[in-house]
Amino acid sequence: MIPVILSGGSGTRLWPVSRRNFPKQFCELFDEPLQNQTLKRLSIFGMPWILTSMELREFTEKKAKEAGFQARVIYEPMSRNTAPAIAMLCKILELENKDKEIVGIFPADHLIGKTDIFTSAIELAEAAARENKVVTLGLKPTEPATGYGYIQTEAQPYSYKKKLSTYSVLKFHEKPSLEMAKDFLRDGNFYWNAGIFVFSVHLMIELFEKYQPQIWDVVSLLKKDLSNIKEIYSQLSSISIDYAIMEKLTSQELLCVPCDPEWSDVGSWDAVAEVYERSGKTRGEPFEIDSSNNFVLPRQDKKYAFVGIDDLIVVDTEDALLIAKKGETQNVKAVVDRIGKEYPKLIQEHVFEERPWGRFEILRNRSHFKSKLISVNPSQQISYQSHARREEHWVIVAGAGELTLDDNVTVVSKGNSVKIPQGAKHRIRNTGSEPLEFIEVQLGSYFGEDDITRFEDDYNRI
């Protein structure tokens, strides 16, 4: 099976940690980022593919490399939802003579507590897909949740395998009212739809030709080298695979594998708090006086205290603080919508930015100066560049490297300071085995990231 990870997201429901340019699958909410966990979970089935947006290219490749994962990455030139993405994937596999392969589609940002149950469910789904079925996972509901779609199945199993079974799917249901969700729970044949699907490539192509010919007619024009992918994608409408294909299938075509692998889509801060509370772990236990049941996702080395207050969720980042009542965090999206109209950068990016060579964090940004903490990874180097509207002053605080300043190379290490004159060509390379860190202070008339002229770059950004 080829496991394919769909990695996108707008970064709104877990703001202020998740942002448009730093969606939740990359956030270190738990022991490791969710996408790394997904890669690890799926690698047993074969080398994963990642299908993501061009905007997340540098991030995706860097994070996978840092975590030591091999993955093939396909980039969408623009977002068009899951149906066009899966159609494009199938066309690429067909062009590579892999149309008889079994493919599994998995979101990048889900949490699985019991990987053994999850693995067994996918193995059963793969076996059923080899019998020319489309198979979806159904998550056993633990409460009458109104935030998920539901899959309704036949009461009697279609097939068995050890402790798991497949069931014919009768119908997909949209997010229900509370009363309807309670009815679903009592019925026992309704499961949460996690957006996980397993199928053969040739069957999915047939289904696109049958149910979405307007999509397939366009996608079928894709060239093997993907040189016309932007032109192709621009002609497609946004539609989910559920609407486009899955909801049109009969009970003979679509099967479900119900299971309970302790799944969470980590779709709200309430869900994050529940994961921590269930595991008994903390990320900054607050001091509480006449207070209880409060959850904090803290900034590093910062202490929190609550006096006379209960049931709060506090999420603290360098430039934004969220305080919400437990049970109300689905409304964070409304907050993001309001903030985005007045402070768009606050929902798009953090004060830190990842780069292929490392990362930087903005310490101060004032009208007359800007300061950063910059970290360059071992064996990496920034581009050979210059700035037209600022000079820079560097103080090396950790590690060792080579500085190139107007083609002159010198060795630098902890304690050295360097002045980069306005307009001077410069770069720094980490020659050690640990991160090379330095404080950068910018002086001049403009401090934007676009004031860079690159002359040489290891990452093809010229």
Residue 333 and residue 349: Cα distance in Å, rounded? 16
Write down the pLDDT at residue 351.
93
Judgement on whether residues 236 and 109 belong to the same structural domain of the protein: yes
Structure tokens at 14: 């877990």
Residues 184, 89, single domain; the answer is: yes
Mean pLDDT of the chain: 94
Res 280: pLDDT: 78
Whether residues 256 and 290 fall in one domain: no
Asked whether the predicted pLDDT for residue 59 surpasses 90, the reply is no
Check: CB of residue 254 under 8 Å from CB of residue 203.
no
For range 287-293, the mean pLDDT: 96
Residue 107 has pLDDT above 70, yes or no: yes
User: Do 217 and 277 belong to one domain?
Assistant: no
Kindly state the average pLDDT of the residues 194-208.
Answer: 97
Q: How far apart are CA 200 and CA 102, in angstroms?
A: 4
Q: How many domains does the structure of the chain reveal?
A: 3
- By residue range, what is the domain housing residue 335? 269-345
Residue 65 pLDDT more than 70?
yes
Cα dihedral 443, 448, 451, 454 sign = positive
Quickly state the pLDDT bin for 62 (edges 50, 70, 90): confident
Per-residue pLDDT band for 279 (boundaries 50, 70, 90) equals: confident
User: Does 394 lie in the same domain as 341?
Assistant: no
Instruction: Say whether pLDDT at 298 is over 90.
Output: yes
What is the share, in percent, of the chain residues with pLDDT greater than 70?
99
pLDDT of 333 higher than 90: yes
Does the predicted TM-score (pTM) go above 0.85?
yes
% of the chain residues with pLDDT over 90: 86
Which of 345, 379, 399 terminates a domain? The answer is 345
Give residue 184's pLDDT band: very low, low, confident or very high (50, 70, 90).
very high
The verdict on residue 462 lying in a domain is no
pLDDT of residue 281: 77
CA distance 372 to 155: 60
Residue 461 lies in a domain: no
Cβ atoms of 236 and 253 within 8 Å: the answer is no
* Domain CATH for 256: 3.90.550.10
3 state SS of 243: helix
Same domain, 366 and 221: no
Are 276 and 256 members of one domain? no
Query: C-alpha distances in angstroms, 39 versus 50, 110, 224, 373?
Result: 9, 11, 26, 30
Does residue 273 sit in the same domain as residue 245? no
Residue where one domain finishes, among candidates 326, 345, 364: 345
162 pLDDT band, cuts 50/70/90, is low
Residue 259, pLDDT score: 95
Residues 174 and 89 in one domain: yes
Taking residues 333-361, report their average pLDDT: 93
Shared-domain flag, residues 96 and 115: yes
Question: Is the pLDDT assigned to residue 160 strictly greater than 80?
Answer: no
